[in-house]
């Protein structure tokens, strides 16, 4: 059984949920959640580490006990600890805590006092008015639980980052237009540029917080107001997206921005660092605390505030350089910052060209001339035209004859565009058996060979891996495009051995794509980070199907930044002549070799 990191993490989280309902030591519960995070964030399959006999307790948040448990899980597919707990607590109780407003304590009481074990049973009891008979439960709680069940059933997916971008812009403007509002920022996973966001965290500076909160709850797209206090409110928009707003003072704005940007794991580590240095860190600032002073109820701004106006100030007081939001996931960035070894993250300006785009020769909306002009307008030194091959008939994919015709037109078009170098390329399908969907003779007319899978997503993992490796090691290929085939919130990645493919890409000098399209973002941040660790060259491109799609490039760059990618890791940061030399020298193991014919 080949267990994936995601499955291991899910089981650890399940143990945590059930332990919590049992009323276990909260720090023990946290330990399981922390370990789950480590597993989830590992680009390398944990099963490979186990197979290699490596010591898992070397990983952060995993000690001797969890190392043993995870090893057992990988080897046997079973987790004795979980089975033990599931004998004591009905497993279905874990789902109850996923209902908004219902946590482990009350789930336990519902079970023990009313015998409720499932969401269905809970709904029945709530409708029958039985919940309100419980000490501490009232009519409002009952109504809130019913609403929470409804939302759980609606099973709302996380919102794609690009969708969040379009929702955020008018809302931020609405708040900024309100009298007395000095600034509005979006924090949270949105600011960290995660591929999806669960909710939006807005921060504002304003003279009269309560008035801003009221204004916020009256935004035309607000469907429900979950809570609204003097400085904070939570609403749900008609799109289903939850939005939190906090209104703050300038003196604590940086601390709040830091705090609400997260991630939670990054914050916890920073707070511990603050404590070690004799401070208290909260969203109100960094405060010097007197030794031993631990009054039970204190003013949140008591003590001496030593930083808080800006993020830079807070990091500096903690002995750290400012850390870019995309890196704040507790994947070693605080340690790197401590040693002053933060990477110089790639930016959009580092890219000198876009190496995947489509035209009317297959399924693109714009002509060769329009796409090339648009690339030139964006200041690129080069671009590559990568229309589909014939196997993808629905896109009007080209065979060798069509490719030849396209190249004749392209020769004319490039004459008119001396300001940009155009690579002859093609997005060639990897067929079911791993062969490429274009004859070798035609492949040899290409400057860049880009390959991808668009069919037979449901092959067994071993066969899918073999298929991809066949292409990657063929000696004909420069770029492996959207390697997993996933579409965010729509299609899961097809199963295959990513680790094997990345090793092969490294060996054969094949660049692996971070597809910038906000629906793909493929590779994702975790795999891109793994690729970078292995020394695999990445390429960031848009897969544009229209000229306006070229502007989506920043999504790819943002994911790359989350993977700590530097300019040197990316093929299309190379100047034109260096890129051409590189293409000539590649693939290193080419049996017959493909040669770039143009300079």
Distance of CA 527 to CAs 19, 352, 465, 501, Å?
31, 23, 16, 11
Smallest distance, Å, CB 286 to DNA?
10
Distance of CA 335 to CAs 10, 257, 260, 526, Å?
27, 21, 21, 18
| Strand 242-248 relative to strand 232-237, pairing | antiparallel
Smallest distance, Å, CB 513 to DNA?
33
Smallest distance, Å, CB 518 to DNA?
23
DSSP, collapsed to helix, strand or coil, labels residue 515 as strand
In terms of CB distance, is 276 or 415 closer to DNA? 276
CA angle 383, 387, 388 (to 5 degrees): 145
Smallest distance, Å, CB 219 to DNA?
17
Contact residues: DNA, CB under 7 A:
25, 27-28, 30-32, 34-35, 57, 60-67, 81, 97, 99-107, 132, 135-142, 144, 188, 199, 201, 227-232, 242, 244, 260, 264, 267-268, 271-272, 275-276, 280-284, 298, 300
In terms of CB distance, is 68 or 506 closer to DNA? 68
In terms of CB distance, is 269 or 554 closer to DNA? 269
Smallest distance, Å, CB 36 to DNA?
11
In terms of CB distance, is 339 or 408 closer to DNA? 339
In terms of CB distance, is 111 or 494 closer to DNA? 111
Smallest distance, Å, CB 51 to DNA?
20
Residues 6+ apart with CB under 8 A from 155: none
Phi, psi of 32 (to 5 degrees): -65, -40
In terms of CB distance, is 19 or 450 closer to DNA? 19
Distance of CA 69 to CAs 20, 37, 523, 551, Å?
19, 16, 30, 47
In terms of CB distance, is 229 or 575 closer to DNA? 229
Smallest distance, Å, CB 165 to DNA?
19
Distance of CA 216 to CAs 169, 198, 224, 259, Å?
14, 19, 12, 21
DSSP, collapsed to helix, strand or coil, labels residue 245 as strand
DSSP, collapsed to helix, strand or coil, labels residue 288 as strand
Smallest distance, Å, CB 374 to DNA?
39
Smallest distance, Å, CB 90 to DNA?
16
Length of the chain: 599
CB atoms within 10 A of CB 417: 16
Phi, psi of 436 (to 5 degrees): -95, 145
Smallest distance, Å, CB 467 to DNA?
38
Smallest distance, Å, CB 260 to DNA?
7
Phi, psi of 204 (to 5 degrees): -140, 150
In terms of CB distance, is 190 or 423 closer to DNA? 190
- Rg from Cα positions in the chain: 27
In terms of CB distance, is 148 or 567 closer to DNA? 148
Distance of CA 288 to CAs 99, 276, 291, Å?
39, 11, 9
303/322 Cα distance (integer angstroms): 24
CB 503 within 8 A of CB 496: no
CB atoms within 10 A of CB 28: 12
In terms of CB distance, is 209 or 567 closer to DNA? 209
Residues 6+ apart with CB under 8 A from 530: 43, 44, 498, 499, 502
176/168 Cα distance (integer angstroms): 12
In terms of CB distance, is 126 or 420 closer to DNA? 126
With b for 16 or more beta-carbon neighbours within 10 A and e for fewer, the 556-577 pattern comes to bbbbbbbbbbebebbbbbbebe
Smallest distance, Å, CB 316 to DNA?
19
In terms of CB distance, is 71 or 573 closer to DNA? 71
């Amino acid at each position: 059984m080949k267990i994936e990191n995601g499955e291991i993490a899910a089981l650890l989280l399940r143990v945590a949920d059930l332990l919590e309902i049992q009323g276990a030591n909260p720090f023990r519960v946290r330990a399981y959640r922390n370990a789950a995070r480590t597993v989830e964030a590992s680009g390398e399959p944990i099963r490979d580490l186990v197979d290699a006999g490596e010591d898992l307790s070397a990983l952060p948040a995993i000690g001797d006990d969890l190392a043993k448990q995870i090893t057992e899980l990988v080897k046997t597919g079973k987790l004795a600890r979980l089975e033990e707990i599931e004998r004591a607590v009905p497993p279905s109780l874990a789902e109850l805590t996923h209902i908004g407003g219902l946590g482990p304590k009350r789930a336990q009481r519902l079970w023990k006092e009313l015998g409720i074990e499932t969401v269905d049973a809970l709904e029945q009891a709530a409708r029958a008015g039985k919940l309100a008979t419980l000490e501490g439960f009232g009519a409002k709680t009952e109504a809130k639980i019913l609403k929470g069940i409804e939302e759980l059933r609606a099973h709302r997916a996380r919102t794609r980052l690009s969708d969040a971008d379009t929702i955020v812009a008018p809302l931020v403007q609405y708040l900024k237009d309100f009298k007395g509002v000095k600034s509005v920022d979006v924090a949270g996973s949105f600011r960290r540029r995660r591929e999806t966001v669960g909710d939006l965290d807005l921060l504002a500076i304003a003279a009269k917080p309560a008035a801003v909160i009221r204004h916020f709850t009256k935004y035309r797209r607000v469907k429900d107001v979950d809570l609204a206090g003097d400085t904070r409110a939570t609403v749900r928009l008609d799109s289903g997206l939850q939005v939190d707003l906090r209104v703050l003072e300038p003196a604590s704005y940086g601390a709040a921005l830091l705090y609400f940007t997260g991630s939670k794991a990054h914050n916890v580590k920073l707070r511990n660092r603050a404590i070690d240095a004799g401070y208290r860190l909260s969203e109100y600032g960094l405060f010097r605390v007197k030794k031993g002073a631990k009054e039970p109820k204190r003013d949140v701004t008591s003590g001496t505030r030593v930083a808080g106006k800006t993020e830079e100030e807070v990091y500096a007081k903690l002995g750290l350089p400012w850390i870019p939001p995309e890196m704040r996931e507790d994947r070693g960035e605080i340690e790197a910052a401590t040693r002053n070894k933060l990477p110089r993250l790639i930016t959009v300006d580092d890219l000198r060209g876009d190496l995947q785009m489509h035209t009317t020769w297959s399924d693109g909306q714009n002509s060769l001339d329009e796409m090339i002009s648009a690339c030139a307008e964006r200041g690129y030194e080069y671009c590559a035209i990568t229309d589909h091959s014939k196997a993808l008939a629905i896109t009007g994919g080209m065979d060798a004859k069509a490719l030849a015709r396209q190249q004749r037109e392209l020769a004319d078009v490039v004459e008119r565009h001396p300001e940009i170098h155009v690579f002859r390329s093609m997005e060639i399908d990897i067929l079911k058996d791993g062969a490429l969907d274009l004859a070798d003779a035609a492949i040899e007319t290409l400057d860049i060979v880009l390959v991808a899978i668009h069919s037979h997503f449901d092959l067994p993992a071993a066969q899918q891996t073999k298929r991809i490796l066949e292409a990657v090691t063929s000696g004909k290929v420069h770029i492996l495009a959207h390697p997993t085939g996933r579409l965010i919130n729509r299609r899961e990645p097809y199963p295959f051995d990513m680790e094997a493919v990345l090793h092969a890409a490294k060996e054969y000098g094949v660049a692996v794509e971070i597809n910038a399209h906000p629906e793909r973002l493929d590779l994702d941040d975790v795999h891109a980070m793994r690729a970078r660790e292995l020394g695999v060259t990445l390429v960031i491109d848009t897969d544009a199907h229209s000229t306006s799609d070229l502007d989506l490039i920043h999504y790819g760059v943002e994911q790359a930044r989350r993977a700590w990618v530097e300019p040197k890791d990316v093929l299309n940061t190379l100047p034109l002549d260096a890129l051409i030399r590189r293409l000539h020298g590649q693939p290193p193991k080419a049996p017959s070799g493909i040669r770039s014919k143009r300079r």
